[in-house]
């Protein structure tokens, strides 16, 4: 199913793809955090759906991060960028990409037997387009949660 416009998604970025302030604290995600990997033939960006957890925003973030950590190693200095689904789709639409959606496929997620149960994907984004990567970095994934801030 496609996520509703008032929902939220998060994207993980390692230290090397974070914009950091003078104290080395993450305050944003680099445009390069939204690169798709050609060698893997990636055609969508992996994200996590926060409302999957059906709790408050803060609790949703905490539960998502907790789940995410069970699926892979997550560096202490990494961060999660949070975005609103409607804002993302609107930003893409203003750049003539009206078909961009965030897809949550519960069947696909359960098939992988992954504990990353909230996994979703941003689909139909232009492949590694500088303008889109810049918009996602500067205007869309603007709420930043340092991994170290979640116990």
Partner 1 sequence: MNDITLTPLGTSFNRIQSTDLKDTTKSNVDGYPMSLNAQFSGDILNQALLNDIDKLFESIRRVESNIPSSKENNSTRQTLDEVIFDARANVKVLFSEISMYFPTELKEKLFHQIDLLHDTDDWEDGDNPVQISSFKTFLRWFYLDQPSQLPNFGMSNGGLLIATWLSNHNKDRLILEFRSDDHIKWFATKHYDDEQDMSSGITSASRLIHHLASYKASDWFIKP
With binding defined as CB under 8 A, does residue 35 bind partner 1? Answer: yes
User: Quick one: which of 29, 22, 6, 20 has its CA closest to 143?
Assistant: 29
Q: Residue 25 and residue 36: Cα distance in Å, rounded?
A: 25
Task: Supply the minimum distance, in Å, between the C-beta of residue 43 and partner 1.
Answer: 15
Query: Which of 9, 18, 45, 122 is in the footprint of partner 1 by CB under 8 A?
Result: 18
Q: Are 139 and 41 in contact (CB under 8 A)?
A: no
Virtual CA dihedral for 63, 4, 8, 131, nearest 10 degrees?
140
If binding is defined by CB under 8 A, does position 28 make contact with partner 1? yes
The pair of structure tokens assigned to 133 is 């990567």
d(CA 101, CA 94): 14
Q: Does 130 bind partner 1 (CB under 8 A)?
A: yes
Pick the binder of partner 1 from 27, 93, 95, 108 (CB under 8 A).
27
Residue closer to partner 1 (CB basis): 6 or 39 = 39
Binding site for partner 1 (CB under 8 A): 14-22, 24, 27-28, 30-32, 35, 37, 39-40, 73-78, 130-131, 133-135, 137-139
């Amino acid at each position: 199913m496609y996520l509703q416009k008032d929902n939220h998604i998060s994207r993980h970025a390692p230290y090397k793809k974070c914009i950091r302030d003078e104290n080395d604290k993450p305050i944003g995600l680099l445009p390069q955090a939204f690169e798709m990997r050609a060698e893997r033939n990636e055609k969508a960006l992996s994200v996590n759906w926060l409302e999957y957890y059906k709790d408050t925003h803060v609790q949703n973030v905490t539960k998502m991060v907790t789940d995410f950590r069970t699926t892979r190693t997550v560096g202490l200095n990494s961060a999660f960028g949070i975005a609103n689904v409607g804002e993302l789709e609107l930003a893409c639409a203003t750049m003539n990409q009206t078909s961009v959606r965030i897809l949550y496929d519960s069947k696909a997620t359960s098939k992988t037997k992954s504990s990353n149960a909230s996994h979703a994907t941003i689909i139909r984004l232009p492949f590694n387009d500088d303008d889109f990567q810049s918009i996602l970095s500067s205007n869309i994934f603007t709420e930043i949660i340092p991994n170290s801030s979640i116990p």
